[in-house]
Amino acid sequence: MAERTPIMAGNWKMHRDHLEAIQLVQKLAYHLEEQDYEGQDVVVCPSFVSLRSIQTLIQSDRLPIQLGAQNCHSEDEGAFTGEVSPPMLKRLDVAYVLAGHSELRALLDETDEIVNAKVAAIRRHGMRPILCVGETKEEREAGQALEVVVSQLRGSLAGIEVTDDDAEEVVIAYEPVWAIGTGLTATPEDAQEMCAAVRTELASLYGQAVADLMRVQYGGSVKAGNVRSLMAQPDIDGALVGGASLSSEDFALIVGHRRAS
């Protein structure tokens, strides 16, 4: 079985101004131990207005934390008021960009086609997309979870090439919508089943060898108390954490999931 680098990412959503964001990262770095960064990617995704401040902090304090953005436009520039382009993010040393988060799919009617264009733009500019997929409560109850996720993957990855050499650079986050911000977490077995299904679909798109190298995160009410059982699943390679990443102590416990308890 391929060795995949776990990726633990905090998505702060529309929380924390830039001064609070600086404090949060400083405290997170204080709580993390050297071993937490070893063979594992640690990522924070603050709002756009905090990216420059966090970039400067990471640089000046030489923190092994990587910067992520929560969204981007698919065009390099243009008359798109309020939008932020991939080259702008690249200049801020952004390593990861979320694409297709369910909140944007739901609130802004972001389609797979739009998400696909964003994923392509993120790749074109040498950054790593974290492509979010996941079913709603209604879809799960109707037995359509798998079908929805497979269709989101096919649509959002259309024309996106992934090879052995860059398989770790395209990350999938399986985030069931009903588990986001609700305190309801998929059971480790259910999360595993869906993440395994994601990998099966990746194998049909890119071949088994590439799929075995690609990272699949779980997201949806991940907490210090459930992260270990989720990370113990063979097809879960990381967590995309919302609410719990707003506390430096809690997020450090999640990132430090491999420490002896």
**Using CB under 6 A, which residues numbered 94 to 113 contact ligand 13P?**
101
Taking CB under 6 A as the rule, does residue 240 contact ligand 13P? yes
Q: Which of 261, 197, 251, 254 is nearest to 231 (CA)?
A: 254
Longest dimension (CA), the chain: 52
66-258-247-99 Cα dihedral, nearest 10 degrees: 40
Q: Which is nearer to ligand 13P, 173 or 210 (CB)?
A: 173
Catalytic residue list contains 101: yes
Instruction: Tally Cβ neighbours within 10 Å of residue 163.
Output: 12
Of 99, 93, 13, nearest to 53 by C-alpha is 93
18: enclosing H helix or E strand: helix 18-31
Q: Which residues within the stretch 28-47 sit at the binding site for ligand 13P (CB under 6 A)? A: none
Whether the Cβ atoms of residue 36 and residue 42 lie closer than 8 Å to each other: yes
Task: Say whether 135 is catalytic.
Answer: no
Kindly state whether residue 221 participates in binding ligand 13P, applying the rule CB under 6 A: yes
Say how far apart CA 112 and CA 234 lie, in whole Å. Answer: 27
Contact window for ligand 13P (CB under 6 A) among 73-81, 152-160, 196-204, 220-228: 220-228
Residue 11 near ligand 13P by CB under 6 A:
yes
Which is nearer to ligand 13P, 11 or 248 (by Cβ)? 11
Neighbours of 79 (CB within 10 A): 6
- The one among 44, 104, 227, 241 contacting ligand 13P by CB under 6 A: 241
Binding of ligand 13P at residue 226 (CB under 6 A)? no
138 CB burial (10 A radius; 0-12, 13-18, 19+):
exposed
Total of residues contacting ligand 13P (CB under 6 A): 14
Q: How far apart are CA 216 and CA 234, in angstroms?
A: 10
**Cβ distance to ligand 13P smaller for residue 84 or 179:** 179
Nearer to ligand 13P, 149 or 222 (CB): 222
CB of 104 to ligand 13P, least distance (A): 10
Q: Please select the residue that binds ligand 13P; options are 86, 100, 176, 243, rule is CB under 6 A.
A: 243
| x/- track of binding to ligand 13P for residues 151-180 (CB under 6 A) | ------------------------x----x
Which secondary structure element, helix H or strand E, spans residue 7, and what is its range?
Answer: strand 7-11
Least distance in angstroms from the C-beta of 10 to ligand 13P: 8
Q: Cβ closer to ligand 13P: 20 or 166?
A: 20
Termini Cα distance of the chain? 27
| Residues annotated catalytic, as ranges | 101, 175
The site for ligand 13P (CB under 6 A) is made up of 11, 101, 175, 180-181, 219-222, 240-244
